[in-house]
Chain A
Amino acid sequence: MDFSVSSKRTKIIKVVIIIFGVLLLFVIICLALYISLRGSLPPLERAKKILAEAPLIDGHNGFPMSIRVLAENNLHRFNLSRNLSQDHYGFFGHRVDTDIPRLREGKVGAQIWSAYADCVSQHKDAVVITLEQIDVIKRMIDTYSDDLELVTESEGILKAVEKGKIGSLISIGGGHSIQYSLAVLRTFYTLGARIMDLTTLCSTPWAQYYNIESYNKSAKLDFNQGLSSFGEEVIREMNRLGMIIDVSHTSLATMKDAIQLSQAPVIFSRSAAKYICDIDINVPDDVLRLIRQKEGLIMISLFPDYIKCRPNSGTTIEDVIKQLDHLRSRATVNSIGIGSSFGDMDEHVEGLSDVSKFPLLFEALIKSGNWTDEDLEKLAGKNFLRVFRAVEDLKEELESKGTKPYQAWIKKSELKKFTNTSCSGTGLQR
């Protein structure tokens, strides 16, 4: 009896092992086929596949400004579901590189829309204009709700993509939009903005913009640091709120101050490497090293003048790859992304003329042979998600420590040379 039981058991074990072995072999073969098949896809198809799996998160699109300038923020005047470069939409014509069909073609998974007020409004109606831009972005998302979905947290991006929509985030186009008021900053956050660029084309009384380096010495501010003491309050409050700090277009001192002071990773929503194109707006290697150390993010702009310093010769996709290769070598592959600046650009890289062309960039990167699929997924959006999550984690941490908002007023000395006081300070305290 004993003998026959054990031989039966041995038989069963043997069968199980064989079945298991066959299954394992089967799985290995399938995997190998899959990898080789994928590997053998033409680069463009492979690019599209990568973007299907790791949605592209584009750091900056200025289209809301075009809506303001060309259509007075009236959404009835154009149809974003049509290709706006077609001839019969004459009044947008070739000036607009963004619309829904082309975003779809470009495999854009999430778009950061910029709510921007021109620098001429600083100390005047910057707050009003920025609020109007936030409103037009939200109305745009509502109007085209089949294709766009407002996103205010990191999870929301993948959720939107799963629903087949383009996750839409709001960023504030410049620190002058808060008119040195933390209450206004908090308002923007409550209204849905999740990123703010500390400066764009002008300094604020608390942060310097890029042109401070060489351009207008008389605009140089009294404080030596890149950020004044109120600027430091802004960084702290953005950390507490869970708002991503963007230092594109800031001065070297400001970017360094912000990166070092912030407890969460900091981004450049649309910049390029100074090593390749030596202009004030671009990022030098020592700052790229800081980004690497602090696990921040540099999102490459597709604006030709940043990619390649040129007169006369055109900027090509190859030039963009050169930039990306350099950024990757200095900041690492974990800290790079794409911030096209489409939407209100009047010049484009050859071959990257509008938002439908992103797959071509990825195709070129694949062809270059230096970029693995994993690298490209990080570039496309995984790095941005990592940073967004880190910013949210810090917010939670600070909340659990009981950090509270408060009213910090900018000092009169910080405002001194700067303000046209007839437009503000009508309240009791400024």
Chain B
Amino acid sequence: MQKRTLIIIGASALIVATIIVTVSVLVTRSDSNVELTLEEKVHQILEDSPVIDGHNDLPWNIRRLAYNDLRRVNFSEDLTQNAIWGKDDSTHTDIPRLRKGHVGAQFWVAYTSCTSQFKDSVEQTLEQIDVIKRLVDKYPEDLQFATSADDIENAIANKKIASLVAVEGGHSMQFSFGILRNLYAMGARYMTLTHSCNTPWADASPVDAKNPILLPESDGLSEYGLRIVKEMNRLGMMVDLSHVSQRTMEKALNHSVAPVIFSHSSARAICDHHRNVPDSVLEQVRKTNSLVMVNFYNGFIRCDGQRANISDVVEHIEHIRGVTGPDHIGIGGDFDGVDSVPEGLEDVSKYPDLIKALLETGNWTDEDLKKLSGQNLIRVFRAVEEVRDSLKGQEPEQDAIKAEELEKYKVNLTCITAKFERLQPQQLLKTRREAPAELQLREL
């Protein structure tokens, strides 16, 4: 009898002990402090907040290498193996690599070169917007057209890469508000005020070069340029200050009532290049809820001619954060628009490696990294949309640029047949509802 009791007690104890051990092991396993590998952490961060990249010039490569004929190249393939695209210095993008890179949204750039200014820049810009739309249409399982912050989130929820249109250079609007409005209607959601040439209303960054070959003509932004910023605010088109001169940056930041962006610029304090953003301007970025999206181009990351690597890019990002805090940085790699990128960031599949490198510094929380990868852009984009909504009653800009202004900038009118008014005193109707009884005859 005692033996049986002992056996029973022993067995019960064994069972209870097993239960306790099992439960405690399970509890410790499910503890949230369990160590994920670094890769897993990066993956989780980018799953929650995929990369929203501010600037990719793939459309220009499509024009250059495929004559905008999408039948000539298959973006669902790994293009490093492609006879033409694989051999080119400036190609970094295809769909498999975008997916590997955890890209959730991309601003595709409808770029035309400065040589087209006052000639066929508008037409070419329309062709580039058209190729972006056809690209998205051709790969509906991977790309989804987007024109708002909501659209971006919607695409990401559908596991597609939100695809937006960007215009790079005020020369694409031929100083015409009608063109600007039509670009917005075609889906463009930011416009870089200049590329590397001055427009008759804004100065480009080469005026800030060490030995400038370009001189400022608009003191940053002329009166007309300020009106363009105003119209962009009204439309809800983000003002992009990459490529503009410092004075242009300052004036635009002062004047715009909506936050602005730098779609692909890095830190001047680290690499003193006119394409990068000076600290004083970074201050204004912080104060205006604006955004700097870091550019990976080797020549903007390192000014000493050496090949850059990921840690150099990390230095730029950390410096910007040091001035603006974590709410005003994003990523605008400039892939497909440059011929030299840092080691470790060879193409659009490498964003996770950048996030990993930032994690490794120990200075970045998961939240900070999600802001960097995409949440800051969403916030700024929404703020721009809110400004647009608040400006509902504002009248569209209608007064075109004056003839005197074009003369002052020595605009070559060979390819321009449109007529421009001269400045002259005249009686104008104040509003259409307040027509005076007599209207002075205008000179036509």
Contacts and interface: CB of A to CB of B under 8 A. Distances in A.
A131 B63 contact: no
Contacts of B122: 125, 127-128, 131
A127 B438 CA distance: 37
A369 interface: no
B176 interface: yes
Interface string B112-125: 11011001111110
A129 B433 CA distance: 28
B178 A429 contact: no
A128 B176 contact: yes
Contact of A74 (B70, B181, B398): B398
- Which of B113, B120, B138 gathers most chain A CB within 10 Å? B120
B70 A406 contact: yes
B115 A426 contact: yes
A184 interface: yes
Contact of A406 (B69, B417, B432): B69
A427 B64 CA distance: 9
A86 B75 CA distance: 62
Contacts of A389: none
Interface stretch (B3-11, B27-35, B129-137, B201-209): B129-137
A386 interface: no
Contact of B182 (A91, A191, A409): A191
Interface stretch (A135-143, A158-166, A291-299): A135-143
Interface string A405-425: 111010000000000001111
Given A128-B179, A181-B126, A427-B112, A76 B398 contact: yes
B22 interface: no
Given A125-B418, A422-B415, A187 B186 contact: yes
B139 interface: no
Contact of A429 (B67, B179, B185, B429): B67
A135 B178 contact: yes
A250 to B, nearest CB: 23
Interface residues of B, number: 57
B67 A409 contact: yes
A428 interface: yes
Contacts of A88: 437-439
B64 A428 contact: yes
B432 A404 contact: no
Contacts of A139: 396, 398
Interface in A381-414: 404-407, 409
Contact of A121 (B120, B134, B398, B417): B417
B14 interface: no
Given A76-B432, A79-B433, A427-B120, A184 B126 contact: yes
A3 to B, nearest CB: 76
A279 interface: no
A429 B129 CA distance: 16
B416 A125 contact: yes
A268 to B, nearest CB: 28
Contacts of B435: 79, 82, 89
B414 interface: yes
A406 B123 contact: no
B241 to A, nearest CB: 25
A32 interface: no
Interface in B273-307: none
B84 interface: no
B116 A427 contact: yes
Interface string A195-238: 00000000000000000000000000000000000000000000
Contacts of A251: none
Contacts of A79: 429, 432-433, 435
22 contacts: A74-B400, A76-B430, A76-B432, A79-B429, A89-B435, A121-B418, A124-B417, A125-B418, A129-B418, A131-B178, A135-B177, A181-B127, A187-B126, A190-B186, A407-B69, A407-B127, A409-B67, A423-B120, A424-B119, A426-B112, A426-B124, A428-B63
Interface of B: 63-64, 67-71, 112-113, 115-116, 119-124, 126-127, 129-131, 134, 137-138, 174, 176-179, 181-182, 185-186, 396, 398-400, 414-418, 421, 428-433, 435, 437-439, 441-442, 444
